[in-house]
Amino acid sequence: MTWFRRARASPEVEDPSSVVVGREVTAISFVHDFIEIHLDDVILTGYTEPFGTIGCQGVGPSSITQLVGRCVEAFSVTNEYVALDSGEDRLGFPIGGPSATGPESVRLHRPAHHELGIPGAHWIW
């Protein structure tokens, strides 16, 4: 499994957008005080308060669920946030800031598929 923090990126670690872009959002889970975005077997977990626009509304529990069934067209990682874009919809999670409750703000996990030669990967911001 590859462990990666934004500050320790290395050339041999694949770009996390290659794991996310083109996948369909298959489920949204609200777990305690964080949100999981399921993209088949890949899971993006946001531990900070989300932001963005979905439809013509802000981001909230009822609007986030509208992403189910949509395809991720872009995945952005900056020093301030991690965000998914699907058409005109954007769901982002701040990295750090006032809504952070611990050292991790966002996590992306891809399980291994050894039979296909695909290693597991885990990105943490």
Residue 79 lies in a domain: yes
For residue range 57-85, list pLDDT tens digits in order: 889 888 999 999 999 999 999 999 999 99
Residue 42 has pLDDT above 50, yes or no: yes
At residue 25, does pLDDT exceed 80?
Answer: yes
- The predicted model scores a pTM of 0.85
Residue 5 within a domain? no
State which H helix or E strand residue 18 sits in: helix 17-20
Structural domain contains residue 7: no
1 against 28, higher pLDDT: 28
Is residue 46, in this structure, part of any structural domain at all? yes
Per-residue pLDDT at 10: 38
On whether the CB atoms of residues 89 and 60 are closer than 8 A, the answer is: no
- Domain containing 95 equals 16-124
Check whether 40 has a pLDDT greater than 70.
yes
Give the pLDDT mean for 109-118: 86
- Residue 13 confidence (pLDDT): 54
Residue 10 lies in a domain: no
Q: Are 91 and 102 in contact (CB under 8 A)?
A: no
Q: Looking at the domain assignment, is residue 81 inside a domain? A: yes
pLDDT score of 6 more than 50: no
* Confidence (pLDDT) at 7: 35
pLDDT in tens, 79-101: 999 999 998 999 999 999 998 98
Strands of 2-5's sheet, edge to edge? 2-5, 121-124, 106-110, 42-46, 34-39, 27-31
> In this structure, is residue 8 part of a structural domain?
no
Please state the domain count of the chain: 1
Residue 1 has pLDDT above 70, yes or no: no
Residue 68 lies in a domain: yes
